[in-house]
Amino acid sequence: MNRTPLLIIIALALALSAILAATAPVGDTKARQAAVIAPVDDAWRAALPGDPEAATQAYLARLSPEARSRSDSYFEGKYWLKLWNLLLTIAVMWLLLGTRCSAAMRNLAERITRVKALQTVLYMLQFIVLTWVIGAPLSVYEDFFREHQYGLANQTFWPWFGEGLIALLVSMFLTSLMMVAIYAVIRRAPRTWWLWGSGVGMLFLMFGMLIGPVYIDPLFNTYKPLPDGAIKTSILSLARANGVPVDNVYQFDASKQTSRISANVSGFLGTTAVRLNDNLLQRTSPPEIRSVMAHEIGHYALNHIYKMLVIFGVILVAGFAFVRWGYAWAQSRWGERWGVHDVGDTAGLPLFMAVFTAYFFLMSPVITTVVRTQEIEADLFALNASREADGTAEVDLKLSEYRKVDPGPVEEFFLFDHPSPRNRILAAMRWKAEQAK
């Protein structure tokens, strides 16, 4: 194996990552937030037109042209980043195969131990670290440099990098376990491995959802009970009224990382928790908070977690079947050149990943449509549960900081995993108009 091209790429990746980190702009996030939305009072809301379209336009008119241009630029840039991530993944996988680096990593693992499961673990550790290093420049640009450029991030580089290392360690542990199970299935059922492999993937997805709120999320943020008061009482009342089995509400310190507002009702099978970040508490009013929490409670009450698991299970089975076909086709043509023997050979993992990545890219319109549909359902649930149409509209204006405000219908259908701010505000104003009749 000629290691020179790979070593050059790794050195360039590290150097470019360092340059991006050193030159990332650090803007005044709070000042930008204050300038985005023109403030109004209750009298302004009371004077809103009864027509939902006109009321929606009145809300959108509070956004400055500069703010709309910036959010459009940020969101549209994400379309290209999806493509660059796809191309980078395929290029890196081809590099590992074409230079026979993947075969060399497999050979090293086999020299160290004869136990198949341990060989898989040793290969995976090499694979994850190597691909993480090569992909670092795009990651630094996308998740650090660009977030600062658009005023959405608060963290300096080294704390951000430290959290990235923690995420890397978690990924090394969980991904290695999953691939040990998948390769064990492949060896035991070489003809139907794709079906059983998708089952293993679903089990690990559910496992991650189960342990994430309890063991993984606290690695990055501090969670503590929300202090007693009107906000907590209101949220717990909403939860009890809609069947959420919780007796507390938790807040977490997301402001150390980002300016985004967020909340969730996470976990299942006994780990359900209602959580909101400190940005939501600091940047929004009680009606807005009530609206957001009703939306998150709606996901729970409408069983979106379980519905999504079923839908994603079907997508995953189809994905494994696609990988089975694509892997066999490519391996029969280039497997000998790459040093890859069959689908049970860990050296073929880059091919496995390349085909899977291409599949999910092609399926992204389906996945975004499923998610967006659930978000629309949760929005409608929230309006009926919270009865805070204006609170909903105010929050949707704030979400325009990182979501394109008014896309075309085709763009929204294919590329939005949430309704656009305009359509969410329109739905709230339509609900409000109907309640006034």
Mean pLDDT of 217-244: 94
User: Mean pLDDT over all residues of the chain?
Assistant: 91
In a domain, 293, yes or no: yes
| Cα–Cα–Cα angle for 32, 417, 195, rounded to 5 degrees | 140
Contact 78, 142 (CB under 8 A): no
272: domain CATH number is 3.30.2010.10
- β-strand partners of 249: 274
In a domain, 278, yes or no: yes
Pairing of strands 273-277, 249-252: parallel
In a domain, 316, yes or no: no
User: Percent of the chain having pLDDT more than 70?
Assistant: 93
Mean pLDDT of 338-355: 94
In a domain, 253, yes or no: yes
Residue 330: which pLDDT band, with cuts at 50, 70 and 90? very high
Count of helix runs (H) and strand runs (E) in the chain = 19, 4
* CA–CA separation, 352 and 116 (whole Å): 18
In a domain, 296, yes or no: yes
* Single-letter amino acid code for the residue at 170: V
Contacts of 249 (CB under 8 A, 6+ apart): 225, 226, 232, 235, 236, 239, 274, 275, 276
In a domain, 233, yes or no: yes
- β-strand partners of 244: none
Mean pLDDT of 216-225: 94
Give the three-state DSSP class for 288. helix
Stretch among 18-27, 235-244, 304-313, 329-338 having the lowest mean pLDDT? 18-27
Largest CA distance in the chain: 77
Q: Looking at the predicted structure, is the pLDDT value of residue 145 above 50?
A: yes
Q: Looking at the predicted structure, is the pLDDT value of residue 408 above 50?
A: yes
CA torsion 45→34→152→266, rounded to 10°?
-40
- Residue 231 is part of which domain span? 223-301
151: region left, alpha or beta (phi > 0 left; psi from -120 to 50 alpha): left
- Tokens at 151, concatenated: 């005023």
Residue keyed to tokens 């209602």: 274
* CA–CA separation, 433 and 101 (whole Å): 63
In a domain, 269, yes or no: yes
Mean pLDDT of 356-382: 96
Mean pLDDT of 96-104: 93
* pLDDT, tens only, 79-96: 999 999 999 999 999 999
Contacts of 194 (CB under 8 A, 6+ apart): 317, 320, 321, 323, 324
* pLDDT, tens only, 4-35: 666 677 777 777 777 766 776 665 555 455 44
Residue 3: which pLDDT band, with cuts at 50, 70 and 90? low
Give the three-state DSSP class for 24. coil
Mean pLDDT of 206-225: 91
User: Percent of the chain having pLDDT more than 90?
Assistant: 81
What are the distances in angstroms from CA 258 to CA 236, 239, 305? 26, 27, 26
In a domain, 267, yes or no: yes
Mean pLDDT of 42-66: 95
Q: Looking at the predicted structure, is the pLDDT value of residue 253 above 70?
A: yes
Q: What is the pLDDT of residue 302?
A: 94
Number of domains in the chain: 1
* pLDDT, tens only, 416-430: 999 999 999 999 999
Mean pLDDT of 387-398: 96
* CA–CA separation, 415 and 368 (whole Å): 7
Q: What is the pLDDT of residue 6?
A: 64
* pLDDT, tens only, 153-204: 999 999 999 999 999 999 999 999 999 999 999 999 988 999 999 999 999 9
Report residue 345: phi and psi, to 5°: -85, 120
